[in-house]
Amino acid sequence: MVQTADGAVSEVVEVVIDRVISGGLGLAWYEGRTVLVPYAAAGDRLLVQVAPNRRRGVHHGAIVAILSAGPHRIEPICPLYGQCGGCQMQHLSQAASLSIKRDFVVDALRRLARVPAAEAVSCVQPTQPGHTTTGYRQRCQLQLDWQEQQPRIGFHASASHQVVDVNHCAALHPLLNQQLGPLRQWLTSQPSPAATSSRINLACGDSGVAMAPPILTSDPFCRYSLNGFKLSFQVGDFTQVNFTDNQQLVNEVMALAGSGRQALDLFCGIGNFTLPLRQQFDRVTGVELSPASVDRARRNVRHNGLGDISIYRIDLFNPAGTARLTTDPVDCVVLDPPREGALQVSRWLVDRGRIARVVYVSCNPATFARDSAILTAGDFQLRSVQPIDLFPMTHHVELVALFDRKSL
């Protein structure tokens, strides 16, 4: 037994990790209780300090000692791993990580969409690995703090607002890592903590580094190449964090989208799928809520000399917004919603009778499974799900799913 600062009593117990579940948490049982342990691997035998708080019989624990390591545990490459909250699965081999991320998707479909286990397993493909497991992240938000008059620059600790001081991040693109030293010098030169911002957003592309606020000299716009196009963006615009493997993602979407006369790109952002879709469809309509992204998408369409693409600002989380979408026949709808998913759009798709195919891109298996249940309860059939490892060393997974309408 261990007494915490508030007087509560926690236990130190021995557990064996059964598997890693959503969030990158190791799942174990102790005396009939479920115990969730971060930074654990399947097969680990651990001493774990179990927190006293109970929530529906689920207990959270922290590793005290690794008594014996599971077969897929490896040595993390970052000395700050376990302190910095940016990565959760550095301690797992790549093969194990890819398999686990597929399991996240299968499990979400089984639990939340009520897809039979055998059907979910056959539908979800093995996770495609990324181009590299390090140096891939091309945008980030750095946190700034002062402790005993010393500047700290880095990322939040896990489940905390405390800033972990970082000199080098294994996930960051080299161009962004190169900014850490000059930013630290700038922060040290400030007369007082009150004179600084609490965070800095960084991004890089083919054209260099962009920063907001612009503390150091940087380009106002960044650009990246995609299917022969040049897409520009500013810090704050949504883009994939991994431009190299974004091309892999776009290739998968284009292969599933097929070709035809009309395509809709919903939650289109700056045009990441919109412009490539024009290579396969006679007309493409992009829809986005963010005014800045709408403006950027329109600029990208113009600057790449494309016609027959229209970009509209519509709130797709609102029934009044989806009511504004076209009633013309549509060969394919591509949607790439934020983590909260596309609940209203899914309902709209079911109500519309003349949409042949839906390609759903998601970074959240839980909300994808919820929306999948809506689509398949209507007239759509889930054909395939392809997880892609766009976020190595973390518990995040991207997926691309294909639905088609059964009655067409």
Instruction: Give 35-73 pLDDT, tens digit per residue.
Output: 999 999 999 999 999 987 666 678 999 999 999 999 999
| 289 occurs within a structural domain | no
Residue 286 forms part of a structural domain: no
Could you say which of 176, 199, 223 is where a domain stops? 223
* 165 assigned to some structural domain: yes
Range of the domain at 206: 139-223
Q: Each residue of 344-403: pLDDT tens digit?
A: 999 999 998 789 999 999 999 999 999 999 999 999 999 999 999 999 999 999 999 999
User: Which residue among the candidates 87, 140, 268, 363 is catalytic per the annotation?
Assistant: 363
pLDDT-derived band at 193, boundaries 50, 70, 90 = low
Residue-wise pLDDT for 11-44, tens only, equals 899 999 999 999 999 999 999 899 999 999 999 9
Mapping DSSP onto H, E and C, the string for the chain reads: CEECCCCCEEEEEEEECCEEECCCEEEEEECCEEEEEECCCCCCEEEEEECCCCECCEEEEEEEEEEECCCCECCCCCCCECCECCCCCCCECHHHHHHHHHHHHHHHHHHHCCCCHHHHHHHECCCECCCCCCCCECEEEEEEEEECCEEEEEEEECCCCCEEECCCCCCECHHHHHHHHHHHHHHHHCCCHHHCCCEEEEEEECCEEEEECCCCCCCCCEEEEECCEEEEECECECCCCCHHHHHHHHHHHHHHHCCEEEEEEECCCCCCCHHHHCCCEEEEEEEECCHHHHHHHHHHHHHCCCCCEEEEECCCCCHHHHCCCCCCCEEEEEECCCCCCCHHHHHHHHHCCCEEEEEEEECCHHHHHHHHHHHHHCCEEEEEEEEECCCCCCCCCEEEEEEEECCC
Q: How many domains does the chain have?
A: 2
Q: Residue 318 domain-assigned?
A: no
Among residues 29, 44, 68, the one where a domain terminates is 68
Domain closes at, from 192, 223, 254 = 223
Indicate whether 19 belongs to any domain: yes
Q: What is the CATH number of the domain that holds 43?
A: 2.40.50.140
Domain-embedded: residue 349: no
Any catalytic annotation for residue 363?
yes
pLDDT digits (tens, 9 = 90+) for 266-290: 999 999 999 999 999 999 999 999 9
What is the CATH number for 158?
2.40.50.1070
| Residue 391 counted as domain residue | no
- Is position 331 within any domain? no
What does pTM read for this prediction? 0.94
